[in-house]
């Protein structure tokens, strides 16, 4: 592990193209980062799970073990909360959701501007370092301990990515008020705003995690207004007007 003083952060760059990795790493070092390198997924997983990095920059296509599997194992068996920025050559919504679903916090599509990479990394690291006082947040049977990051619903533990936890914290603190899309993006990414699919993908995964296994939805979308978490009365299925109102929520 490097002894160099951390300024912007200590990151690992997991990228099999050594030329690209060297160019990216040298740029990050000029921006104050300390950079470790791994050129395959197995080595990257070992280093990322063994060292105290501020962020992981992870290529999607890697020899030995692909980036999705590296992210899944970091979040799963290694219980890592280190922010993961995934680099991908694929630009479809399904590919982006797959990366976020495995635990990535953000992604950049290749080719990318190194200045944007720097901005995204700074935003992820800044939010990870920010200290918050411990709270026990509850909405209905959903509970979030901000100190231990434990989330449960109906006493069943739920697993969320770091970005998912931040989104959940914002929505639970504001409940039952509506939170706009622009505010959520600003709270999570600051000025380094992602593309239009990123927030939608994270909210899709959040909704699927906290609502899909349960009978009653807590997360509601209000078209043109935003999102809210609220324990609302169940719609009366025999009343078409009530059903329509519930659909809008």
pLDDT in tens, the chain (249 residues): 444 444 688 999 999 999 999 999 999 999 999 999 999 999 999 999 999 899 999 998 899 999 999 999 998 888 888 999 999 887 667 777 788 888 888 888 888 899 999 988 988 887 766 544 567 899 999 999 988 889 999 999 998 988 899 899 999 999 999 999 989 988 888 766 667 678 889 999 999 999 998 999 999 999 889 999 999 887 554 444 444 444 333
Every domain range in the chain assigned CATH 1.10.10.10: 136-248
Question: What pTM does this model have?
Answer: 0.59
pLDDT for the residue 188: 83
CATH number of 136-248: 1.10.10.10
For domain 9-129, say whether CATH 1.10.8.60 is its number. Answer: no
Do the beta carbons of residue 74 and residue 93 sit within 8 Å? no
Q: Where in the chain is the domain with CATH 3.40.50.2300?
A: 9-129
Answer for the pair 35, 12: CB distance below 8 angstroms, yes or no. yes
Mapping DSSP to helix (H, G, I), strand (E, B) and coil, where does residue 198 land? helix
Place of tokens 């999607």: 60
């Amino acid at each position: 592990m490097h002894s160099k003083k951390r300024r912007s952060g200590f990151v690992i760059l997991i990228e099999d193209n050594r030329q690209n990795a060297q160019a990216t790493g040298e740029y990050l070092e000029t921006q104050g980062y300390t950079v470790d390198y791994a050129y395959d997924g197995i080595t990257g997983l070992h280093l990322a799970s063994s060292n105290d990095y501020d962020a992981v920059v992870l290529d999607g296509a890697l020899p030995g073990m692909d980036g999705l599997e590296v992210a899944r194992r970091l979040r799963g068996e290694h219980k890592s909360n280190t922010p993961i920025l995934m680099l991908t050559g694929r630009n479809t919504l399904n590919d982006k959701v797959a990366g976020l679903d495995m635990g990535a916090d953000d992604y950049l599509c290749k080719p990318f501007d190194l200045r944007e990479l720097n901005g995204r990394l700074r935003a992820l690291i800044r939010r990870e370092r920010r200290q918050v006082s411990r709270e026990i947040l509850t909405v209905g049977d959903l509970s979030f301990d901000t100190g231990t990051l434990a989330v449960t619903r109906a006493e069943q533990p739920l697993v969320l990515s770091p970005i998912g936890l931040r989104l959940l914290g914002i929505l639970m603190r504001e409940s039952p008020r509506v939170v706009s899309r622009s505010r959520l993006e600003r709270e999570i990414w600051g000025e380094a705003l992602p593309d239009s699919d990123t927030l939608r993908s994270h909210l899709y995964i959040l909704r699927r995690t906290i609502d899909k296994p349960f009978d009653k939805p807590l997360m509601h979308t209000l078209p043109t207004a935003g999102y809210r978490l609220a324990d609302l009365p169940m719609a009366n299925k025999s009343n078409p007007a009530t059903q329509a109102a519930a659909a809008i929520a």
